[in-house]
Amino acid sequence: MKGRITEELYRYALSIAKDEHPVLQDLRKRTQTLPGSHMQISPDQGQFMAMLAKILGAHKYLEIGVFTGYSALAVTLAMNADSAMTFALDNDQVTMEVAKEYWAKACVVNKITPIIGEALTSLIKLIENGHSNTFDMVFIDARKSDYIAYFERSYQLIKPGGIILIDNIFMQGLVLEHQQKESARAVDEFNHFLKSQDLDYCVTTIADGLTIVRKPHQGGI
């Protein structure tokens, strides 16, 4: 099951979707041979994020949680202007090397700045280095217990009219369990934190749940 639809309907959806970019396809196959392959986003989520980047006319994208680079590649390919740039944050040097290999194959490696280290520290450095209010889109997909902290920094980093996407907000249904495991409890806390704020956002049931938050322009819209 992907979200609320059956396997059969999901296969149908993929069959009628636009073809996955050949390098994204290769990267998916390669990632399937690696530990943690379940962490990679699905092709339909990649296409959805790419479409959001196109609708926004995004030029500057920040990703928190890169793994082998699928979502970063999907979004970077969608920002085809010369000025497009992606900042890719992860603490795993080994999977980042795989990512770089495929970004190079897709001829976008020069548009992506990999930043290895603790994501929260990297976010603080981006703020210190003057990147506040400059990103069009941020994708949060790393350590669940840091979701609120990632979100607060990301909200500072996106420009008015920009959006933040937060992944795995259902944690494969574990947010509903009475005895939640730590990561599910953290995501549940994040979901309720967001609800308690006066923010413009919507919850979507794509893949494992993807929340979209938009920072308003001055004047509120």
Ligand X SMILES: C[S@@+](CC[C@H](N)C(=O)[O-])C[C@H]1O[C@@H](n2cnc3c(N)ncnc32)[C@H](O)[C@@H]1O
Nearest approach, Cβ of 185 to ligand X (angstroms)? 16
d(CA 204, CA 189): 17
Shortest distance in whole angstroms from residue 66 CB to ligand X: 6
Contact (CB, 8 A) for 74 and 24 = yes
Closer CB to ligand X, residue 66 or residue 158? 66
CA angle 40, 42, 43 (to 5 degrees): 125
Residue 41 or residue 194: which is nearer to ligand X going by CB?
41
Residue with Cβ nearer ligand X (45 or 195): 45
Q: How many CB atoms lie within 10 A of CB 131?
A: 17
For residue 189, the surrounding DSSP H or E stretch is helix 182-196
Q: Which positions touch ligand X (CB under 6 A)? A: 39-41, 65-68, 70-71, 89-92, 95, 118-119, 141-143
CA atoms within 13 A on the CB side of 105: 16
- Across the beta sheet with 135-140, the strand order is 112-116, 85-90, 60-64, 135-140, 158-167, 210-214, 200-204
Least separation in angstroms between CB 216 and ligand X: 26
Beta-ladder partners of 124 = none
Smallest distance, ligand X to C-beta of residue 7, A? 21
Q: Looking at beta carbons only, is 113 or 217 nearer to ligand X?
A: 113
Rank residues 29 and 178 by Cβ distance to ligand X and give the closer one: 29
CB of 178 to ligand X, least distance (A): 25
